[in-house]
Structure 1
Amino acid sequence: MTGTGTPVLRLEGVRKTFGRDTVVLRDVNLDVAPHTVTALIGASGSGKSTLLRCANLLEEIDDGAIFLDGEDITDPRADADTVRRRIGVVFQAYNLFPHMTVLDNITLAPRRVHGTSRSQAQAHALELLDRLGLAGKASAYPDRLSGGQQQRVAIARALAVRPRLLLLDEITAALDPELVGEVLNVVRDLKGDGMTMVLATHEMGFAREVADQVCFLDGGVVLERGSPEQIFGDPREERTRRFLRRIVEAGRL
């Protein structure tokens, strides 16, 4: 599905440094159209996770601007909490509250942040759990779930706030190989629903399958962007070609 209209997310000239000398993002420009999936690929340390954290205002940028539905969310007058209510985030670590049941983990933000009634929040949470194949796990605690189940709960928690944009940061990195597929199937389903997503991933085959746009990051720069067919089939940049050759040699594409 190809999106049209105002980008859901736009980064213009974004620069991010840590300390005096560590430049993590350099003049990053990126448009994410509605109802599309953008995959961020590149070696560890290339800036993928930092880009996602900046997009959710978890990191403050040093220069440039970030827009959500045309609104400059990096303007000092923008309220970060209000912005985050429109963005769902799933990290590679599940970050579930261990003392809370699955149902309570999922309903916490809708109730506390969005003011949704308990009954409405629970009804929506149960719908999400049923859809994600976790219908019988509402009363379970996180330590009674497999890694794949915990990550699906984390996705349900992000979806519970009905986000405009979903950011996914290496969501299969902490999973055993046999559990990766069940989580990626969820992302496939969300793409079918038209959810706008940006995902940082080392799963090259999956990025090739699900993405509408692929961005190769190197040294904090979006060195190359294009369709999956172009990036994986005929990359323009030699650095991209070297990266993909190593992926093929490792049997990951």
Structure 2
Amino acid sequence: MSDAPAPQSPAPQSPAAQSPTARTPAAPPAPVLRMESVRKTFGGSVVLRDVGLEVAPHTVTALIGASGSGKSTLLRCANLLEDIDDGAIWLDGEEITDPRVDQDAVRRRIGVVFQAYNLFPHMTVLENITLAPRRVHGDSRAQAEKHARELLERLGLAGRADEYPDRLSGGQQQRVAIVRALAVRPRLLLLDEITAALDPELVGEVLNVVRDLKADGMTMVLATHEMGFAREVADQVCFLDAGVVLERGTPEQLFGDPQQERTRRFLRRIVEAGRL
């Protein structure tokens, strides 16, 4: 009889080890913008209270709510145009509300477009667009103009580079304002009611620009009264009421099955007004 030891049974393997294709789930990407417990007051009035927000890369977040609900103030705080009273804000993992942070350097990474175009009337379209890249980023004139003309062509404004703003329609001026924000190659684009000052027939051309930017993967936060557009383009919708993010979710969740009675009342009025 052989004295060789009996063969040992192989040790059991975990399901992951047994399957050569199994992978550990990837961690979600870090948010581009994160706001935590943000509070902002003007005088004795609380405009934002305990606001939290996370914006993932290459997504669109729509802020909706009645006028005065805090949407514009939230955007201005995100770009450090307003100092917050409490809480913290991070951009790409850096706490930008830390008093030691160079706020000008932060703003160079964020593009902002307001409902008022804020174009310099004494400068041509090209001069308006190239001002920040040259003065803030140190681009040469040739670099800045080349990039500006590429953006103008892409947004259907190639023939307007040498025009002055008062020669443009409202929709064209707003598209120039978007080009100016994009010219600094922002990490994040904030859009504050960018169609509010436009005639109804001009709204579509500006919204088409936002659609194209979404297709390109631009990370955006937009405050809007265009509910149908928010439902179409947003990945996340936040309903603000009295300075609080009362409800958030995908467009399907928030518009299709809102959980808060205040959200339901707001959306009912929007539907009754024919805006959704």
Residue type at the aligned position of 1:34: P
The residue identity in structure 2 corresponding to 1:161 is V
1:83 and 1:184 map into 2 onto residues whose CA distance is 27
AA aligned to 1:7 is P
Alignment of 1:175-186 (within 5 A): 175-186=198-209
Q: Which residue of 2 aligns with 1:106?
A: 129
Are 1:10 and 2:39 an aligned pair? no
- 2:119 matched to which residue of 1? 96
Aligned pairs for 1:228-243 (under 5 A) are: 228-243=251-266
Contact in 2 for aligned 1:217/1:223 (Cα 8 Å):
yes
User: Following TM superposition, by how much is the alpha carbon of 1:148 offset from its aligned partner in structure 2, in angstroms?
Assistant: 0.1
User: Residue in 1 aligned with 2:54?
Assistant: 31
Deviation at 1:204, TM superposition (A): 0.1
Equivalence for 1:157: 180
Q: Distance in 1 between matches of 2:233 and 2:272?
A: 22
- The superposition leaves residues 195-225 of structure 1 with CA deviations (integer Å, 9 ceiling, x where unpaired) of 0000000000000000000000000000000
How far residue 4 of structure 1 moved from its aligned partner, in angstroms, is 3.9
Q: Map 1:1-253 to 2 at 5 A.
A: 4-19=28-43, 21-253=44-276
| Partner Cα distance (1:66, 1:4) in 2 | 19
The answer for unaligned runs of 5 or more in structure 1 is none
Aligned partner letter, 1:246: R
List gaps (5 residues or longer) in structure 2. Answer: 1-26
SS at match of 2:275: coil
Secondary structure, in 3 states, of the residue corresponding to 1:223?
strand
Residue identity matched to 2:60: V
TM-score, structure 1 normalization: 0.98
**SS of corresponding position for 1:100:** coil
Give distance in 2, aligned partners of 1:204 and 1:210. 10
The verdict on how the C-alpha distance between 1:100 and 1:4 changes in structure 2, with shifts beyond 3 A counting, is farther
Root-mean-square deviation (CA, aligned residues, Å) is 0.8
SS of the residue corresponding to residue 28 of structure 1 reads strand
| Structure 1: distance between partners of 2:167 and 2:149 | 18
Measured in 2, the distance between the counterparts of 1:186 and 1:101 equals 21
Q: What is the aligned-residue identity percentage?
A: 87
Structure 1 CA distance for aligned equivalents of residues 141 and 107 of structure 2: 21
- Alignment check: 8 A CA contact 1:10 1:32 kept: yes
Structure 1: how far apart are the matches of 2:125 and 2:98? 36
Aligned 8 A contact 1:7 1:33 in 2 = yes
CA distance in 2, matches of 1:23, 1:199: 22
Shift of residue 131 of structure 1?
0.3
Q: Is the 8 A contact 1:90 1:168 kept in 2?
A: yes
Aligned residue identity for 2:29: G
Question: Highest CA radius of gyration, 1 or 2?
Answer: 2
Q: Secondary structure in 1 aligned to 2:88? A: strand
Partner Cα separation in structure 1 for residue 116 and residue 85 of structure 2: 27
- Structure 1 residue ranges (4+ consecutive) displaced by more than 6 angstroms after TM superposition: none
In the comparison of the two structures, how many residue pairs are matched? 250
